[in-house]
Amino acid sequence: MATLTIRGFDETLAKTLRGESHKRKISMNRLVLDILGEALKVGSSKRHFDDLDHLAGTWSEAQSREFDDKVVDLGKFDPADWK
């Protein structure tokens, strides 16, 4: 595994990288490796998903029941609509 030192970051770029690494919950080193790999189309094919996984499991039982009650009709269909 090679080591690379990058010098000359201006404060704006450094702050942006720190913010993005915090947002993605990864180290700055991992972030820079991911960005370079994506830009150069090399490295792992691991994709970053920016989705709603962080919300999974955060609803209370009452919120979950309320949601289920409001969407129950979405599971119903009229077979005649499919003829």
Within a domain: 59 = no
Number of structural domains in the chain: 1
Within a domain: 32 = yes
The secondary structure of 4-63, three-state, reads: CCCCCCCHHHHHHHHHHHHHHCCCHHHHHHHHHHHHHCCCCCCCCCCCCHHHCCCCCHHH
Q: Which pLDDT value is given to residue 13?
A: 94
pLDDT digit string, tens, across residues 24-46: 999 999 999 999 988 998 865 56
**Enclosing domain of residue 14:** 1-47
Q: Does the pLDDT at position 73 exceed 80?
A: yes
Whether the model clears a pTM of 0.95, i.e. scores above it, the answer is no
